[in-house]
Amino acid sequence: MQGGILPFSLEEPAPFPMLKNIVTTVIRKDISSLGRITLDETDKIEKMLSFIGASEIDGINYTSLSKNIGITKYKAKQYVDYLEKAFILHKILPTGTSVLQEPKILMSIPYRLLYADYQKSLGGLREDFFVEMMRMVDMYLYYLKSTRGAKTPDYLVSFDNDKTTIEIGGKGKSREQFKGIEIRKNM
């Protein structure tokens, strides 16, 4: 999770400068030519990635990106879509009752470490890793969302009509998020 999974890190003792160059190339050359976006927009995409990487996982969606970057929700969605196609971001849709249908936005491993150190990023890296592994094996998943302030597990994974709730966390996590949770078949 600290950069050792990248093929070039086998021979490169410090892979993060190379990883940063890859991100810059994807944004400034690939996305800008395919997405027909302006130089000013590439700066906003870089600012958006920096914001996502330095922030806590919860609450990163189109609304928070548009507010914090100073772009419209339409542009936030467009930029996230480009970065998801470039395998830098992941969008996970919510499930639950009466929830806003904005995706939770996570990063591919180890991009988060370009914007924050390992200790600060550990919780985010755990979720990034989980989502990346589920995507690699084509597991369908949602993030669980409930009324404001209510504790819920993190994800609902669906496989062969079976549903499993999953809480991502370290040593300090308890079963509190699972109290009173009932996963209905129609979720």
Ranges of each domain in the chain: 12-178
Evaluate if residue 107 carries a pLDDT over 60. Answer: yes
Angle at 105 between CA 8 and CA 86, to 5 degrees: 40
pLDDT confidence bin for 142, thresholds 50/70/90: confident
Q: How far apart are CA 52 and CA 32, in angstroms?
A: 20
- The pLDDT, as a whole number, for residue 165 is 84
Q: How far apart are CA 123 and CA 145, in angstroms?
A: 18
DSSP-derived secondary structure letter, 169: -
What six digits make up the tokens of 58?
């919860």
Q: What percent of the chain has pLDDT over 90?
A: 42
pLDDT confidence bin for 99, thresholds 50/70/90: low
- The pLDDT, as a whole number, for residue 160 is 80
Nearest to 153 by CA among 183, 122, 112, 187: 183
pTM greater than 0.85 (yes/no): no
Per-chain mean pLDDT for the chain: 83
Evaluate if residue 175 carries a pLDDT over 70. Answer: no
- The pLDDT, as a whole number, for residue 139 is 85
- The pLDDT, as a whole number, for residue 187 is 44
What six digits make up the tokens of 102?
């904005």
The interaxial angle of helices 62-69 and 39-54, nearest 10 deg, is 120
- The pLDDT, as a whole number, for residue 50 is 95
What six digits make up the tokens of 182?
């009932």
For residues 10-26, average pLDDT: 87
- The pLDDT, as a whole number, for residue 180 is 47
- The pLDDT, as a whole number, for residue 9 is 72
Evaluate if residue 176 carries a pLDDT over 70. Answer: no
Long-range contacts of 133-138 (CB under 8 A, 24+ apart): 135/90
Q: How far apart are CA 34 and CA 141, in angstroms?
A: 29
Q: What is the CATH number of domain 12-178?
A: 1.10.10.10
Q: What is the pLDDT of residues 44-86, one digit of tens each?
A: 999 999 999 999 888 899 999 999 999 999 999 999 999 999 9
Contact 113, 16 (CB under 8 A): yes
- The pLDDT, as a whole number, for residue 80 is 96
For residues 98-122, average pLDDT: 87
- The pLDDT, as a whole number, for residue 155 is 84
Q: How far apart are CA 3 and CA 94, in angstroms?
A: 29
pLDDT confidence bin for 91, thresholds 50/70/90: very high
Angle at 158 between CA 141 and CA 98, to 5 degrees: 60
